[in-house]
Every structure is written in structure tokens, then in C-alpha cells.
């Protein structure tokens, strides 16, 4: 049997995939993709609650913003 235990359910939350070194209630610099993907600008982003795979965005990004979470090496 598989199951999911839901500890909390929140509405209207912006979230992204969890960053490797992200911590709850901290501020990090994330690159927001702009100019139709031609460039990115670094923004301070306030993080909130986190789960195993996602982290809440409290401030610094808007719905629909695209951010760079990781970069592949060559």
C-alpha cells in the first residue's frame, strides 16, 4: 500500500524546485530569465516553507517568472 501524508495544505503559493543549498526562511540570488530567454538577471528571492522537492517563494518573483535552478556542465 502506498500513501501520502499531507501535513499542511496552502493555497495561492508560488514555488520552485528545491535548490541544492536552499534553506527555509532565507534569501538567495536566483537568475530570472528575461528578453525571451536571451538573458537573465540575478534577483534576491526570499524563500519560505519547503518540502523534499519544492520550496516556497515569499518575495522576489511573480507568477510566470522563469528562473534558472541549475546549469549543466560541459
Q: What is the pLDDT of residue 32?
A: 95
Domain regions of the chain by residue span: 14-67
For 13, the grid coordinates are 503559493
Q: What is the pLDDT of residue 58?
A: 96
Q: Strand ranges (DSSP E) for the chain?
A: 14-17, 27-34, 39-50, 54-59, 67-68
Q: What is the pLDDT of residue 74?
A: 58
The pLDDT tens digits of the residues spanning 7-55 come to 777 788 999 998 887 888 999 999 999 999 899 999 999 999 988 889 9
Q: What is the pLDDT of residue 60?
A: 96
Amino acid at each position: 500500500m502506498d500513501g501520502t501524508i499531507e501535513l499542511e495544505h496552502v493555497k495561492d503559493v508560488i514555488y520552485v524546485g528545491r535548490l541544492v543549498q536552499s534553506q527555509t526562511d532565507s534569501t538567495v540570488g536566483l537568475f530570472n530569465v528575461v528578453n525571451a530567454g536571451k538573458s537573465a538577471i540575478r534577483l534576491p528571492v526570499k524563500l519560505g516553507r519547503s518540502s523534499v522537492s519544492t520550496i516556497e517563494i515569499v518575495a522576489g518573483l511573480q507568477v510566470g517568472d522563469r528562473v534558472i535552478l541549475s546549469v549543466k556542465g560541459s
